[in-house]
Each structure stands twice: as C-alpha cells, then as structure tokens.
Chains A and B, each alone.
Chain A
C-alpha cells in the first residue's frame, strides 16, 4: 500500500498519518479516498491556517465560510447566497467544457443553500491576446460560459478580464454566482440520525475521475492525458435539477442539501456526515450509473456533473421522489446516516472502505516559512524613468489596449437579462445591479483584481482588490455587505509561493477590517504554475451590496450642462500602471498607495450623494487613470465633456490611484454636493461640465481634444477582432 501511496502522489508523512489515524494500513479504496479528500482543492491544507485570520462576522451575515456558499441578509426577509469558485485546471486543458462545468458547479453550490441563482459573474485571466493559445482559450472559455449560463437561464451580468504574461500557461477561470432566497428557506449540508440520503440528478459515469486531485497539482506537458479528468456539462439536465431541487425546498420536503462537486460522492457524503456529527453508510450498488461495470473507486470518485444530495424530512420521501420524477430525474436513496462517525462504503454486500469521517475531513495542515522572491522586489523598487509621450496619442492607444478595451464583444455572448432582474446592464455601471422583484431593493455585485498590482506587491494587491470591488459597488449606490474570495496562486510548497499566499491573505485581512466588510465564502486554487513560473498572486474578490433599486447610479454622462466633479486627488501614480506598460512594455514600480481610511470615507460619500439624489452618474477612476475614466463616461450615451486638469504630466492624466470617484451634479445643486464633501473632509475638485460630442481637456501643456467617435471606435475594436475573428 505504501508503494501505491507513493505512486499516486501521497507524501510519505501523510501516509504515516493515515495509518496512525486508522490504526491500520488502509486498503486501496480507502487510500484513494484520502488522496482526494486530502487534496489541496478539498482540504485547504496550506491555506486553512492562514484563512483563519480573516474577519467573518458582520451584521448582515447569516452564513459564513464552511458551507456551500455564504449568505447575507438584504432586507424584507430576503437573503442572498453567493460564492466564487475556480475551474482553472480543467479550463487550461479543455476551455469550453472546463468553463461550462465551472458555471454548473457554482450554480449547484448556490442551490444547495436553498437559493435560486439570479446572476453569474466571471473573472478571467489569460496570456497576451496576440498569442494564438490565449485566443483559443479565451474563445473556448467565453463559449463555454455562454453555453451553460444562457441555456440554464441564469444571466451573466458582469465580471472582469485581464491579459497578462503571467497567465500564459495557466489561465484562470473563476465563476461567481448570486442566489436569492427567503431567510426561512436557508438550507445547510446537514442530516439527522437514521435519515436516508438521496442521490438526485444525472447518472454517474467515468468522467472527471480524480478531478479534485488534478486541480491540486501543477500542469505538466502531457495535457491531453489529463482530458479524462475534465467533466462534461449538460445545462439542460442542470436546469431540470435546479427546478426540481428548488421546488423540493419550496415545498419544505428536505432538511439538508449538498451539491456533488469535487471528489463526487466521497466528498459530498463524508462532509455531510462530518458536519452533522454523524457517520454514513453508502451502498454503491444503488447509485444510478450510465456505464457498465464501474468499480467502487470509479463510483466514489466520479465527478459526473448535474448531481445533488438531498436529505428528505421524515415522511416526505415519497413526495421528494415525485417532484424529481415529474422533472424526469433519478432520485433514489443510496445511503443512511449512522451513529458511528465513519464513512462506510458497501459494494456487492461487502464493506470496501470504512474510515472515520473526521480523519477524512480534517486533513493535516501545513504552516511553512515564506520568502519574498527577490526578482519581485527588484521590479517593485525599480524607479520610474522620465516618460515622454503625446497624451493625444496615449489615450487612443490606452483605450485600445487589451486590459482597457471594451468588453462588449464578451458580454454580448451572454444572456445578461434572462430573469428580468438586471437593473444595470453590463457596460452601464461600475457594478451589476439585480432587482429583487416585489420590493424596491436591489443587490449590487462586482468582482475585481489587478494582476500587475498583486504581482509587484501581493499584500497591497489584495487590499486593492477588495477596496476596488467595494468602491465599484458603492459607486452604483450600494452598501457593501460581504465578500467572497477566489484565491488563485502558485505552489505553496516553494518559499516564494507560500510568501505570496500568506501576504495575499494578510492584505485581505487588513482591508476587510478597515472597510468593515467580512468574507462569507471562497475558494482556493493553488499550484497554478508550470515550468517553475507562478501566476501573479490573484485574489479575485467578489463583493455584494444592497441598495434602493430606484437610487442607482450609472457611469455614462446623460445630460449636457451638468457639473463634473472628482473626489480624491487629481494626481495618480505610474508604478505598475497600464500607461507605464503601454509606453515601456514592462511592468515595474510600486503599485499605488492605499489609505483605507480615506477609501472608506470616499465610498461613504458617493453612496450618500446618490442616496440624497444629488447624482445619478458616477464612475470610479481605475486603471488608465483620469482620462480613461472620463472617456468611459462618454460612451454609454454619447455625451461628451470639457474639463480642466491643473497638474502637469502623465501622472495627472493617466496615473492610477484608489479612492477616486467622478460624478456629475446639476448646477443648481452643486453647492449641496460640495458641502457634503467638505463636511467629510474629502479633497475634491470641480473638473468641468458635460456636453458636446467631444472630450476636451485643458492642461497646463495645452488643449487636448478627441471626438467621441474616434475614442469609441478605438475602444470597441480590439476585443471584437479577437472574439469575432
């Protein structure tokens, strides 16, 4: 057995731990159970000790980390379940199915909480778009998301997309989902003693065997051989499963729900039992299969999609079976909870595995010693050289650069309106807004992360990610309630990789405490490296907020003659900026400083301005700086502006800095708005006025002017060419 352990990649120390916990040698099946359950993907071996430090409490929090998704209260008896999850490794090997099943998986997590999925967001990272492989992956991933999300009828309302050399071999595909539920319908992964456990949905096949373990190692050259580890998604079956599951919950037929995701039956049943403080006896012969002669190992580890686990309330077994039968789905008891806290597996009348649930669920954890990569430090400390460039030209080129160009070609592939809740469509605001029908409440959501910042300064980069996602949610008028984090990093087994993991989590902690926004769910994807090259540490932060839906702000100028103001400093920084990369082809320097106290005050101020009806147009100043933000505000409605910038140099025009928001106000109410900002002690400036068909910028160095048409076409073309070409 020890030889087998070595062969399938269980470290010697962990094997000894298994023997000790069992009090004997494991058999082959048991060893495989440990292999998947103790994978980084399922067990968070390296991240768990660090993640403990994150603030998880908050007024609105109904369910924090540890369940299938986090849940926050939004008002009038409504709650929102949400979570982000990665599907990076499958997407690198088979982008279409990898992305599609990533969407399917996160939808089932949300359903498991008793919530109806109402929105999807996707956070994607690829290598440079000039390269054929990046294009192939991007097209495949976008098509896969569209294939699954459009068909199942959950709108894809937002996300973010970056191109960066660091993701050349390891693209990232993270999907976030929001679901809506009545507080009283909140479900958890629980079962009481002696209850039958039902298997519902698709039949089990040999697909995706060992996917969780696959997700926990580095991508090697022989990628084609990994194909069997990639699952295949069926959104039609997913839709039937979703409707049947939600109907069963609505009819109050179930006491516990658990999705069957990574590590299939093994993970879902052993965790359900462990969380309930019980054991479980599983009869593999009862599992519906679609292939002949499946072995116990295959049945236990299959990651066939569109499957759920349900625990009916006593006396509701028949009713549950009827609901699923009506939707044409299998729904059969395959297991039962037992008092002994073991995961016992029977196959053809014999016990093929019996392992304490605690031994499986509580994998050993690792605390390592990290060390900063000296190369990262060198790049960060590289001074910014004097840059000479014609701003007239720079804005056009920035708008057409891969990370700033319009995402319209992507989001047009996604149904972003099905469900008739989308109150702010993609491209219209800094965050998506979903309407809770029957109320005047709205839910805002945005996911953010900047790989340049994180690569050069992992801790600060993570702080920026949370600050920016909260800012975007605030800029549409919503109060941020909580966040979900998708942590994507390289191997924690190198000191440099571990350092980045530890720093990333430390950054989230610091920003979370300062902004008062706790984490409620998340996902960790490590080992995103190949050939010894780690991806930039990538904490994709998804923030959910609540607002009065009628008081929401869009980003586009709508009327001429409004006064345009900037909250925050005019001048940004060039370190790690898009303009620096554009002009030098390199990424270096110190990312922008972040004052979290100021950040919080700016967010509160813009929410207050929107709340009081002083503005309906607001936009944060992010990558590409002030001029890029101004250009973006002209696009939605084709209304221009004339502004004056007092500071000199590229720092003022294109420099980047957090805690900055642009907004417009009617002339008659200007004083009210400025008074509000003064009372809060925030720096602001009146920049100019909306109107016209051009963007005109008076600078100390002269007048810059662009027609909206030329800016718009520069901005829209690049991704169209990639996706439609």
Chain B
C-alpha cells in the first residue's frame, strides 16, 4: 500500500499526514506540486496548510497547479483521493467536490477540538467507525464554512454524500464551529472515492497527542486493500 502526499509550496500538514499514514502501516511518499504522473500509488493525500500562501483564495492557486491534472485523472479512475483542510479547499476549487469553503462566521482562524459525527461507514475512510459515532477531532482553519446552493445541498443529502457532520461532544449548543450549512464537516464524491473534510484526523492518531480518534480513519484505508 503506497500513498502520495502532494507537497504544494506553503502546505504545512504534509509531515503530519505522513506520520498518520505510516502509523497505519501505509507507505507514504511526498510528491512535488509539479509532478504530472501519479501511477503506482494507491491513493493521494492533499494535506492542510496554506498552499501558495492561500493568495487569491484558499486553495485557488493550488487547484491550477500541474499535479492537480494528475489528481483529476487519478480520481476519474476511481482511486482514492483525500483532502484535509486546505486539501478540501483545493478539491472544491478544482471542482472535484461540489460547494465552497467560505470564511468562518466568526471571521477568525479557529483551532480547537470539535465533535464530528460519522454519517456513513460504508467507505474505506470510515469503515472502522460505528455509524453515528461522534469523534473528537481538531480543526484549525479560517475558511471552513461549507457552502453550496440549495440544489447541491439537496443532492448531497439525498445521495448520502455527507460523511462527517459537526455534532455536540456533550450538550453544547454552539457545536458548529464555522457556520457550515447543514453542519457539514466532510463530503465524498458520488463514486465514493474522493473525500474532503475540514477536521484533521491526522492530528489525532497517538496517545501522546492525547487523542486517537483519527487513527481508524487511516487504518480503514489499509483494510480496503486487504479486502
């Protein structure tokens, strides 16, 4: 099992992604943003950060980089693509996932742990979670408010493409940290192979970090191949 982690200039969660993938026993390799060939990889991970300084709009410039053509082909072949945080923003900017990620309602970068409910567990990313489980995952973004037009939202809901939704950890009323529509924290493509999410599962994979709720996400990717 071999995954590529795309290194855009300005990405800063690339090492964290490698840490998490390797922790799950997956071979992870960095791929430069100018790479045009992703053959030989079982999956592609678009890490968080500030690709190209997030100039213009978060993810907008990265979406036009040479590697994204290869990622598009990779996705069309039905292989797995995961975008976390800035990676999710890049996927929406590239049109690989619908909708957009707007500035948080509080207009501030926000870093904290939030509750994230697993809405479906028939995907490799979530197969090791019970459906409905509320995970404790870190967020760290300034532009994470998921937005889509009403038709798109209806389609996402109708086809069950919402994979992760913000949810209360205890009974807090303000559990949605950024004002995302329908509390959406992560969505998947119709074919179920392209996943984008704002929370960071790769930051929650070790006891030392005080949180292991993200580890099954990566272990799930491994089981996919063994199947």
Contact = CB atoms under 8 A, between A and B. Distances in A.
A153 B13 contact: yes
B52 interface: yes
A550 interface: yes
Contacts of B205: 420
A549 interface: yes
B202 A413 contact: no
A146 B109 CA distance: 8
Main DSSP-derived SS at the A contact region: loop
Given A151-B10, A153-B12, A415 B111 contact: yes
Interface string B177-200: 000000000000000000000001
A151 B209 contact: no
Given A151-B53, A420-B203, A425-B210, A413 B110 contact: yes
A418 B9 contact: no
A418 B110 contact: no
A418 B210 contact: no
Given A152-B12, A327-B9, A416 B19 contact: no
B61 to A, nearest CB: 10
B29 interface: no
Given A417-B138, A417-B203, A419-B15, A150 B109 contact: yes
A235 B112 CA distance: 22
Contact of B140 (A150, A237, A437): A150
A236 B109 contact: no
Interface in B108-151: 108-112, 138, 140, 142
Nearest to A152: B12
A412 B109 CA distance: 8
B42 interface: no
Given A150-B140, A153-B13, A236-B53, A412 B208 contact: no
Contacts of B142: 150
A234 B50 CA distance: 12
Main DSSP-derived SS at the B contact region: mixed
Contact of A420 (B16, B49, B108): B16
Given A150-B140, A412-B111, A412-B112, A418 B12 contact: yes
A550 B208 contact: yes
Contacts of B111: 150, 411-417
Contacts of B13: 153, 418
Contacts of A327: 9
Interface string B1-32: 00000000110110110011000000000000
Given A417-B200, A420-B202, A239 B110 contact: no
A635 interface: no
Contacts of A412: 108, 110-112
Contacts of A146: 108-109
A427 to B, nearest CB: 10
B206 to A, nearest CB: 8
A724 interface: yes
Given A150-B140, A413-B108, A422-B209, A236 B16 contact: no
B5 to A, nearest CB: 14
A557 interface: no
Interface string A234-263: 111101100000000000000000000000
A418 B139 CA distance: 10
A328 interface: yes
A151 B54 contact: yes
A423 B55 contact: no
Interface in A397-418: 411-418
Contact of B49 (A153, A234, A422, A425): A153
A435 interface: yes
Nearest to B110: A412
A517 B5 CA distance: 42
A420 B52 CA distance: 22
Contact of A236 (B19, B52, B200, B203): B52
A603 B15 CA distance: 36
A236 B109 CA distance: 17
B16 A418 contact: yes
A411 B109 CA distance: 10
A435 B209 contact: yes
B10 A236 contact: yes
20 contacts: A150-B50, A151-B10, A153-B50, A234-B53, A236-B50, A239-B10, A240-B9, A327-B9, A412-B110, A412-B111, A413-B108, A415-B109, A415-B111, A417-B209, A418-B16, A420-B19, A420-B203, A425-B210, A428-B210, A435-B209
* The 5 residue pairs across chains A and B that have the minimum distance between CB atoms: A153-B12, A236-B53, A151-B50, A415-B140, A420-B16
Interface of B: 9-10, 12-13, 15-16, 19-20, 48-50, 52-55, 106, 108-112, 138, 140, 142, 200, 202-203, 205-206, 208-210
Given A411-B111, A413-B110, 4 more contacts: A150-B109, A239-B9, A327-B9, A420-B16
